Structure 1
Amino acid sequence: MRFAFGDIIVDVEQVKITKKGEHLECEPRVFELLLFFCQRPLEAISREELVNTVWQGRIVSDAAVNRAIGELRKLIEDTPSSPQWIKTVSKVGYRFTVSPTQEDAETNSENTTDSFAENPSLLLDNNGHKESRTETQAIAINPKRKNIAVLLLISISFLTLTLVALWGTFPIVKQTKPLAKHQLQVIQRKPLTSITGSAFNPAYHQANQQLVYLYRASSDDYAQVHLQINNGARSALTQDSFYYTDVVFGSGNLVYASRLNNLQDRHCEMVQIDTVSQQVTSLFKCGINVVTQLAFDSHKQRLLYQSRPSISEPYSIHAWQIDTGRKQQITHPKQFGNNLGDYTFSLSRDNRYLSVIEYDADNKDTMKLIDLGDNQLLQTHPFIDDVFGLMWRSDTELLASNSDGLFIFDITKQQLTPIEHSDQFARLAAGKNDQAILTERSQIRMNIVSYPITVEATSVEEVSVEEARADSASLNNTVVKTDTITPLTASSGINQTPVLGNQSNIMAFISDRSGERNIYIKDGKSTLIQTAFKGEIKHISAMAWTHNDKYLIASINSQLFRYSINDQRWQAIAESFAQVHHVAASENAILFSAEIDNKWNIWQLPIDAQGNINQDTASQLTTKGGYSVQADNQTLYFSKFNHPGLFQLNLNVSTENLNDEVAEKVLIDDFPIAAWRHWQLKGDYIYYLLGKEYLSLNLTNNEIKPLHHFSGRAPSDCNLAVQRNFLACDRIELSQSNIWQLTLSH
């Protein structure tokens, strides 16, 4: 069977599209989409129907549908921006504008070739057919000019396979560019695990034909170490109260793993596990606030791992000698600002060399090649940014993955070449043979919900749980469900970082529902505004509403911007500051933290009654450090980049006396550095999240009261409504992944 319209022929049997006699390469999903349109011509088809039919009911984001439609238009339209064949139907979906003719296919046409022979991967998906991956923990996804708090979130997201974050886009389908036949390509995809929950961080032992990986049944569970033998039988090697972060095979029946005591304190410990007896032996402490990757050097019988002295210092690679317990630092990353340092690495197959990716704030990240005989640096080379996976394919070739796809690096030529542009590649590990690699494919869905709270009697009138739920429901304009959680967003993608207004429940949040990360605004009437930021949004560090809710302030790509509700446009402000992180607003000023000379401090820009800003009047408020900030007219409240605690500073003290210890005081001495975004000032109270408890601190008498306990995983971000009667928080609704083996061939 063939469908024909215009100069295009869709051959069903040969899974082939030709235009003007030329064969068009495309993804299987794009072909299925076009075939569905041909079978349903001239109808207005909803996105829901497309998902149910073309995606067979799988959970996919709006971004996935947008991208597939975009790729199909690029394929068949002469002018994709002004499509002839596939029209958008407002508030419905899409319509195929032509009724194609149907004819029998010519099975032996001289001008056709077998698509499956050209691209065997067309046959593969979750059930043996090609299927694209939803976003994994790399989620996330480390943007350039990272700050230490963002990096910590990315690390925790890496652990929980959730927020990569926080800082990346989460499309299910991403553009795949066809490669020439002589180039290395993925020819087969096969799942090695098929379980409910999340399986990640795989390691395979070719001699024993065993697979170890981390597994958790839900996003609320702690990851444990599992073993799977060649026949598919699997067992849990650990079942304890620790959160395991990586695992690798050692000698004989031993595996080595890193684990955290919990996700709040994050005390790291290295352990040895006997796969036969399942005995777990503690080896040594590997740091605090450390999420480490492991490798086993079989030649020298030692473990390689990442570590750092503190959360505000860069990672470096260390070695621990198994027989003697001797520790050695192997790499020495650059020491500047909030540098992440050596954030991923791979040991060569002969254990002679170490390839390391070092973060660079202003340029491409750097690949460093190190001789492990004397720990000497052999070469450096600009690399891809935000590497998820890194592994040696041969003695002279490295494979690397990030959100853009899979790449190969020739060490001798110092040449980096893409293999496949796709979002199907996460962390990489050696597979069952030299042509196979392991990676993870996962799905994640996150939305914003409200949790009602009953506040203590303050200047704000006390409200009931029912009133709190009604207030949050009015923001969503939906009927409140019988449980205590009310949805504020409903999307199959990633919706996160809610920020509520100061005078109303207007809400700004970050979402990838359009296919790219963007900032959305939703008012109490459920009007949804997609803010039109000019240029690519690489990362968003923080957002805040001005006192009157007329402007949204945001740190985008480490620079400061203001969005006007009335004009619906963005404006760059404080343009002389290139490293801006946290933002806030008081009644008469915009507050922000900025890094200058490798020091983070708090600055302010005055705002007049009309909302005008004098960009030449930025003034420095702190000199001894400042990272996240809130303020009233008299007092500045802030956290610091490299010191725990929440601080207060009397703004009535002159700048000449800023170094006076009386001016700056510690308000909460055990406030974690990593909690910089988990607090806010409202009236005479500071509200903050500590572990799974949301607390209030009365500034008049220093009394601390619990407001809400999160029974499951604590949210990444919460924001308290102006009435102080409900919390808007992000909530993971779906998080699952499995281990896949990919076969590469020329």
Structure 2
Amino acid sequence: MSRFVFGEFLLDSTSFTLYRNNEKVAIEPKLFRLLLHFCQHANQVFSREALMASVWEERIVSFAAINRAVSELRKIIEEDPSTPKLLITVSKVGYKFTACVEQAKLPESKEYLAVNHKYIALIVGVMLIVLSCAYWLTFKADKPISTQFVWQDFPVTTKKGISFKPNGNFVSDDIVFLHKETDDDIAQLWLQPADGEAFPLTEDEYYYTFAMIAADNTVFASRFNNLVQRDCEIVKIDRASKEVSFVSSCSRRAVTNLELDPASNKLYFNQREDVNQPFSIVSLQLDTGRKQQVTMANSKGNLRGDYLLSLSPNASKLAVVEYQSNGDGLVKLIEVNKVAQPNYLTGFKSVSSIAWLDHERLVISEKSGLKVLNVKTSEVSDLSTQPYVSQAKTNKRGVVYVYSNNSQNIYNHSVNDNGEIQAITDTRHRTVLPFYASHNNDLVFLSNDSGEWQFYLKPEYGKPHALLFPETIKHINNISWANDGSFIVASVNGLLYKYHFSQTRWQLIQSDINNVHFVDIKDSETLLVSSDDSGDWQLWLVNMRTGKSELLTKFGGYSAQVSADKRYIYLTKYTKSGLYKLDLTTGSEYLVLPDLDITYWNRWHIKNSNLYFVKDKGIEIRSLENVVKKGKWISLDNIVPSSFSITADESWVSVSRVEDSSAEIRLLNKRQ
């Protein structure tokens, strides 16, 4: 590891820190590695292919992603990024770092001390303050000493690709985590010892979803048999022999989170009886196989229930996150060995993990970063506010979490056989959920380019502009265009919203049903929506003017679309595979496409007289007159899209493609 000085900057590869005039500069890990590479090879010209091999470690990314990284780095180091002088473009070749770079000496050298004398004085002052506080707390204070920490942040894993869901325990520095090379690979278990290189624990055909380290050097994990059936099981892995043994079955299609009480040899995890039921927390006695229900989930408008959990260091309490219909996660405490009502604390937005920091505090990963919640006072404080952090867990050394960095852009794939691809957006952030209009090729999509998710409209002949949504977008399922293009309707945060283009504003559609999942415009006055307001997922007709609803189906409905002639509704179901057709005149319903997977509820579209659906890393087109007959297949260049859209003239299929995806595990190391 080295330190490099150029101009006003000092780059410290030991601490992964960049300074400018002795002030710390915020820089993303990927940009830091790019700058480090240029410092190590100043005045050398590098092609984009060479940068991909060295900085991106031969992971396949687009040239556009590399160009954006260079552009963002210029914003940090150049006085005028529009006319770069340090990081220049060499025409038809690549990039060259022209700065005069010197390798700085070690911290104890006189030169380094001279540059950082202000920091030394500051450190001495801080030490005196800390010693004074320690003296007061030890000898003067009447209450017990509270644990305060200075947090140091640095990377733990160095594997290329995507490392995620780290976990540890309070007696070990080791970390177990999931890893895959690309988004399309299956996740396997890896172990990062405190004093060695990471190594794989599993190399099989299962997709692992969660793992935790037990005190006896075994690892418990949950996994799917594959990503289509998603049959779930809990297994135990011996770290030394890597032998895998079956422990218990778990809920199908469910990511199962685990906690272990080694003293009682009891395993806690989230479970549901059926895919249309909410999660509860259960315990499994490993000696006898006895299973007991620990929590009772609130099922009203809530299909996730109690989905996250963490066991306190003394195993007396479970911290549980209960999913709310508005997308928030409500934290509650459960006394494990007592019969008592849950102690509800506070809610957080888009919670991805929860873990005990000590006996009194929880660390929670939510939308705005990492939060610390004091369970006695309910006070909430920030641990990290940097973007793209999630999945925080704790071990002996501190807090391990995931820093992710990916960019997605929308591309059009030609329906013709020429294989043509058009780039529709160009951003280093994420653009997703493309929805084309019915009357022309105007496009609405979502992007977090501004830091928050926002709707954008790209006219067929124009540049994108924001359709400013009045609330924070927590989750969105789909958008539907009016046939004449005058308005769109979206299902956002479980509610219905209408955007009328002539009025240029969003309007909440007041309805007497809650927790809306999917929406399609049936006609100028009526919406077709899915909701579990009746207790399970059904289709409803909602009048946009009055908000009154009418139950349409009795046998289930999760996503749906009205045929062009308004005579039929095509629909999927929450608990069954296949695409169904409902005759609105007779009320008859029958299965038309049995092999549409249950997880593909948003991966099909009706356009005019054709059915489009995702199949085998592409899109298949079939005529609605004969759906069982195989039709044309369009390759999507080896990706399986989570959603797609079709242009009005059916000449292009639009998908969101991941161009640059990486995730690394970092550690917030606590020092008293």
Measured against the shorter chain, the TM-score band is: 0.7 to 0.9
Deviations 1:680-727 (A, max 9, x none): 112333222256453344332332425235574411111123333432
Query: Which amino acid in the other structure matches residue 483 of structure 2?
Result: H
Would the aligned equivalents of 2:230 and 2:252 in 1 still touch at CA under 8 Å?
A: yes
Whole-angstrom CA distance in 2 between matches of 1:638 and 1:494: 29
TM-score by length of structure 1 reads 0.68
Query: Which amino acid in the other structure matches residue 602 of structure 1?
Result: L
Deviations 1:489-523 (A, max 9, x none): 21100110011122322211111112221111223
Q: Closer, same or farther in 2 for the Cα pair 1:723/1:261, shift >3 Å?
A: farther
Match of 2:349, SS? coil
Alignment match, 2:292: 328
Alignment match, 1:451: 413
Whole-angstrom CA distance in 2 between matches of 1:514 and 1:602: 35
TM-score by length of structure 2 reads 0.75
Counting matched residue pairs gives 575
Deviations 1:401-454 (A, max 9, x none): 212233322333343333443336422222343xx221111211111122333x
Alignment match, 2:545: 615
Would the aligned equivalents of 1:184 and 1:419 in 2 still touch at CA under 8 Å?
A: no
Q: Closer, same or farther in 2 for the Cα pair 1:115/1:492, shift >3 Å?
A: farther
Would the aligned equivalents of 2:370 and 2:390 in 1 still touch at CA under 8 Å?
A: no
Deviations 1:6-40 (A, max 9, x none): xxxxxx98746xxxxxxxxx96569x9xxxxxxxx
Alignment match, 1:649: 582
Q: Which of residues 372, 390, 402 is equivalent to 1:426?
A: 390
User: Are positions 1:634 and 2:567 aligned together?
Assistant: yes
Cα offset, 1:260, TM superposition: 0.9
Whole-angstrom CA distance in 2 between matches of 1:352 and 1:409: 18
Alignment match, 1:663: 588
User: Are positions 1:703 and 2:628 aligned together?
Assistant: yes
Whole-angstrom CA distance in 1 between matches of 2:71 and 2:491: 29
Whole-angstrom CA distance in 2 between matches of 1:571 and 1:694: 34
User: Are positions 1:437 and 2:399 aligned together?
Assistant: yes
Query: Which amino acid in the other structure matches residue 649 of structure 1?
Result: L
Alignment match, 2:102: none
Q: Closer, same or farther in 2 for the Cα pair 1:731/1:118, shift >3 Å?
A: farther
User: Are positions 1:593 and 2:529 aligned together?
Assistant: yes
Whole-angstrom CA distance in 1 between matches of 2:438 and 2:272: 39
Whole-angstrom CA distance in 1 between matches of 2:226 and 2:582: 33
Would the aligned equivalents of 1:426 and 1:441 in 2 still touch at CA under 8 Å?
A: yes
Whole-angstrom CA distance in 1 between matches of 2:408 and 2:461: 22
Would the aligned equivalents of 1:506 and 1:522 in 2 still touch at CA under 8 Å?
A: yes
Would the aligned equivalents of 2:513 and 2:549 in 1 still touch at CA under 8 Å?
A: no
User: Are positions 1:195 and 2:159 aligned together?
Assistant: yes
Whole-angstrom CA distance in 2 between matches of 1:260 and 1:417: 36
Q: Which of residues 472, 484, 497 is equivalent to 1:536?
A: 472
Match of 1:257, SS? strand
Structure 2: stretches of 5+ with no match in the other structure: 1-6, 9-18, 32-50, 57-63, 83-113, 128-145
Deviations 1:641-684 (A, max 9, x none): 4454433222234xxxxxxxx53333335544432211211233
Question: Aligned runs of 1:564-583 on 2, under 5 Å?
Answer: 564-574=500-510, 578-583=514-519
Would the aligned equivalents of 2:325 and 2:494 in 1 still touch at CA under 8 Å?
A: no
Would the aligned equivalents of 2:259 and 2:269 in 1 still touch at CA under 8 Å?
A: yes
Q: Closer, same or farther in 2 for the Cα pair 1:708/1:260, shift >3 Å?
A: farther
Match of 1:543, SS? strand
Whole-angstrom CA distance in 2 between matches of 1:112 and 1:243: 48
Cα offset, 1:353, TM superposition: 2.1
Match of 1:428, SS? strand
Whole-angstrom CA distance in 2 between matches of 1:562 and 1:208: 53
Would the aligned equivalents of 1:185 and 1:419 in 2 still touch at CA under 8 Å?
A: no
Whole-angstrom CA distance in 1 between matches of 2:406 and 2:570: 35
Match of 1:527, SS? coil
Structure 1: stretches of 5+ with no match in the other structure: 3-11, 17-25, 33-51, 72-85, 90-106, 121-181, 454-463, 470-484, 607-613, 654-661
User: Are positions 1:509 and 2:434 aligned together?
Assistant: no
Cα offset, 1:209, TM superposition: 4.7
Query: Which amino acid in the other structure matches residue 167 of structure 2?
Result: A
Whole-angstrom CA distance in 2 between matches of 1:575 and 1:713: 38
Query: Which amino acid in the other structure matches residue 527 of structure 2?
Result: L
Would the aligned equivalents of 1:61 and 1:492 in 2 still touch at CA under 8 Å?
A: no
Would the aligned equivalents of 2:537 and 2:557 in 1 still touch at CA under 8 Å?
A: yes
User: Are positions 1:281 and 2:245 aligned together?
Assistant: yes
Would the aligned equivalents of 1:61 and 1:491 in 2 still touch at CA under 8 Å?
A: no
Would the aligned equivalents of 1:303 and 1:320 in 2 still touch at CA under 8 Å?
A: yes
Cα offset, 1:118, TM superposition: 8.4
Would the aligned equivalents of 1:582 and 1:628 in 2 still touch at CA under 8 Å?
A: yes
Alignment match, 1:681: 606
Alignment match, 1:465: 417
Q: Closer, same or farther in 2 for the Cα pair 1:214/1:284, shift >3 Å?
A: same
Whole-angstrom CA distance in 2 between matches of 1:570 and 1:378: 39
Q: Closer, same or farther in 2 for the Cα pair 1:548/1:116, shift >3 Å?
A: farther
Alignment match, 1:473: none
Whole-angstrom CA distance in 1 between matches of 2:616 and 2:227: 8
Alignment match, 1:373: 337
Query: Which amino acid in the other structure matches residue 630 of structure 1?
Result: Q
Would the aligned equivalents of 2:432 and 2:447 in 1 still touch at CA under 8 Å?
A: yes
Would the aligned equivalents of 1:60 and 1:493 in 2 still touch at CA under 8 Å?
A: no
Alignment match, 2:652: 726
Match of 2:599, SS? helix
Whole-angstrom CA distance in 2 between matches of 1:117 and 1:405: 31
Q: Which of residues 473, 481, 486 is equivalent to 1:545?
A: 481
Query: Which amino acid in the other structure matches residue 579 of structure 2?
Result: L
Whole-angstrom CA distance in 2 between matches of 1:406 and 1:233: 27
Match of 1:343, SS? strand
Stretch deviating more after TM superposition (700-709 or 333-342): 700-709
Q: Closer, same or farther in 2 for the Cα pair 1:186/1:705, shift >3 Å?
A: farther
Query: Which amino acid in the other structure matches residue 727 of structure 1?
Result: V
Match of 2:650, SS? coil
Alignment match, 1:240: 204
Cα offset, 1:61, TM superposition: 12
Alignment match, 2:539: 602
Cα offset, 1:337, TM superposition: 2.4
Query: Which amino acid in the other structure matches residue 337 of structure 1?
Result: G
Match of 2:426, SS? coil
Query: Which amino acid in the other structure matches residue 452 of structure 1?
Result: S
Query: Which amino acid in the other structure matches residue 609 of structure 2?
Result: D
Alignment match, 1:219: 183
Would the aligned equivalents of 1:602 and 1:621 in 2 still touch at CA under 8 Å?
A: yes
Would the aligned equivalents of 2:325 and 2:515 in 1 still touch at CA under 8 Å?
A: no
Stretch deviating more after TM superposition (405-414 or 285-294): 405-414
User: Are positions 1:560 and 2:496 aligned together?
Assistant: yes
Would the aligned equivalents of 1:14 and 1:114 in 2 still touch at CA under 8 Å?
A: no
Match of 1:409, SS? strand
Whole-angstrom CA distance in 1 between matches of 2:588 and 2:625: 18
Whole-angstrom CA distance in 2 between matches of 1:217 and 1:118: 46
Q: Closer, same or farther in 2 for the Cα pair 1:344/1:118, shift >3 Å?
A: farther
Q: Closer, same or farther in 2 for the Cα pair 1:527/1:263, shift >3 Å?
A: same
Question: Aligned runs of 1:12-31 on 2, under 5 Å?
Answer: 15=22, 28=26
Would the aligned equivalents of 1:304 and 1:319 in 2 still touch at CA under 8 Å?
A: yes
Question: Which portions of structure 1, spanning 4 or more consecutive aligned residues, are displaced by more than 6 angstroms?
Answer: 56-66, 86-89, 110-113, 115-120
